[in-house]
Amino acid sequence: MISFSLAQSKLKALCDSWIKDVGLESESRFLSESLGFYLSQDVCAKQNLPRENLSAMDGYALCFSDGSLQAKEHEIFTICGESRAGKPYLGKPLKANNCLRIMTGAVVPDWVDTVIIQENTQKIADNKISLLKQVSNGRNIRWLGEEIRQGQKLFDQYQPVTPNVVSVLASQGMDKVDAYRKLRIGFFATGDELRMAGESLASGEIYESNLSAIAALLQGLPVECTNLGVIKDSMDDIEQCLKQAAQQFDVVISSGGVSVGDYDFVKGCVESMGILEIYKVAIKPGKPLCFGVLGNEVPNSALFFGLPGNAVSSFVALTEFFMPAIRFLLGGRSSPQKLYLMATLDNGIQKSSGRMEFQRGILTSQVSPQGDISWHVSTLNQQQSHRVYGLARANCTVILAEDSGNIEAGNRVRVAPFPWCFNGMVL
């Protein structure tokens, strides 16, 4: 049995090798269609930001008396023009103790000394203002290039395109970016007992649920997913499915069929076609994990990820083990960071040392009278790998270290919140 971290290293090495052989193809994408993709090259600034000196406030752009470094309280200025966003002042430079009416985002002429906010002035005539307080040189101006300088590197290769990244790229006038293409993923389940939703069930048959979960988990990524359905427990049918999938997809995911049962044919088919690595990993659920390569010819080879058949084991193996690998194949190298919290355990946990456990839990927060937030978590009573309803009730995974034993209530434990259960908006 190997550790979870060692299994992760072996999977990453396999993905690294496949990328070097096959390569990650780049494509030019419209910015509006690039969300979630990863940049295939560094991006540098095309222009300064701001492009010109701009006013940071609504108020008046002042021209001080000759040689002065500040304007005094009660000093009077004559209004000689206006500058507003998109409509800069184009007249002649102002003389000392003249000013412009100016709006936020408006161009500040080079000869202006400072901008004073409207609240610190008093209008004493149609074209005159008096200062209500002293103001120093250079205030309330956004200087040319103070945030971004033309030519500076904005983002590194492999940067994920997130909403805030889109905002910066758009501010540079970029309508397209170079990003890695979508990953083509095909997935299937095996089992003569499996039926699709809407079909009638005979004795011994069950509805297939893992394929829907796989599709849902992959939906937010830049991938092209193809549900290949349920394949019969037949060596010929599974072999034909895998051969076709290896030519059509970058990654092929199977649900079930990789254990040691008499009708678990996926393992043998993958081994006959390429490479398969199978490990007993010190985790619960999802102890047996396997991955490999379908096909011996590089252009027509695909990575293979094998999931357990039990619903919870399949879910944990995909989210905790294979999803980081899929992001790596898409171009992700260091992000997104997974969110972990330390929470107080509200119930005791029975656990044997020797295996890392991912238990389903319910995470809640409490706010003290002082405004401090504390997190509490309780694990579900039933943690068996077939209990899919318990998975639906949970909003987090409680991660228990390999060397830990029983844990009493009141102890602090590491928790990974399900992202779809948090960060919502309450109206």
Sequence ranges of the domains in the chain: 4-25+182-330, 43-49+147-179, 54-142, 341-421
Q: Do domains 54-142 and 341-421 have the same CATH topology?
A: no
* Residue 262: Cβ-neighbour burial (10 angstroms; 0-12, 13-18, 19+): exposed
Per-residue pLDDT of the chain (427 residues; tens, 9 = 90+): 899 999 999 999 999 999 999 888 999 999 999 999 999 999 999 999 999 999 999 999 999 877 788 899 999 999 999 999 999 999 999 888 999 999 999 999 999 989 999 999 999 999 999 999 999 999 999 999 999 999 999 999 999 999 999 999 999 999 999 999 999 999 999 988 999 888 899 999 999 999 999 999 999 899 999 999 999 989 999 999 999 999 999 999 999 877 666 557 888 899 999 999 999 999 998 878 899 999 887 777 999 999 998 889 999 999 999 999 999 999 998 755 788 999 999 999 989 899 999 999 999 999 989 999 999 999 998 777 767 888 889 999 999 999 999 999 999 999 999 988 987 655 5
**Alpha carbon distance 287, 354 (integer Å):** 12
Residue 400 in contact with residue 413, Cβ under 8 Å?
yes
Q: Distance between CA atoms of 189 and 238, rounded to whole angstroms?
A: 10
Give the single-character DSSP code of 222.
S
pLDDT score, position 340: 92
Write the CA distances from 215 to 188, 211, 384, integer angstroms: 11, 6, 23
CB-based contact 112:61 (threshold 8 Å): yes
How is domain 54-142 classified at the architecture level of CATH? Answer: Beta Complex (2.170)
Of 275, 332, 324, the residue nearest 302 (C-alpha)? 275
pLDDT in tens, 313-362: 999 999 999 999 999 999 998 755 788 999 999 999 989 899 999 999 99
CA 96 to chain centre: 54
Distance in angstroms (rounded) separating the CA atoms of residues 368 and 132:
43
Task: Provide the token pair at 241.
Answer: 């499915």
Helix axes 266-273, 235-248, angle to 10 degrees: 50
For 146, the enclosing helix (H) or strand (E) is none
Looking at residue 307, its pLDDT comes to 93
pTM for the whole structure? 0.87
Specify whether the CB–CB gap between 159 and 165 falls below 8 A: yes
CB contact burial 157-194 (16+ within 10 A = b; e otherwise): ebbbbeeebbebbeebebeebbbbbbbbbbbbbbbeeb
Q: Let me know: does 230 contact 192? Beta carbons within 8 Å.
A: no
* Residue recorded with tokens 């394929």: 211
pLDDT at 130: 97
Q: Which CATH class is domain 341-421?
A: mainly beta
- Beta-carbon contacts of 427 under 8 Å, excluding residues fewer than 6 positions away, are none
Residue holding tokens 């590491």? 414
| Contacting residues for 364 by C-beta, under 8 A, at least 6 apart | 375, 376, 377
CATH homologous superfamily of 4-25+182-330: MoaB/Mog-like domain (3.40.980.10)
Pairing of strands 356-367, 373-379: antiparallel
Where does residue 234 rank: exposed (0-12), middle (13-18), buried (19+ CB within 10 A)? middle
- Output DSSP code: residue 407: B
Cα-trace Rg, the chain: 31
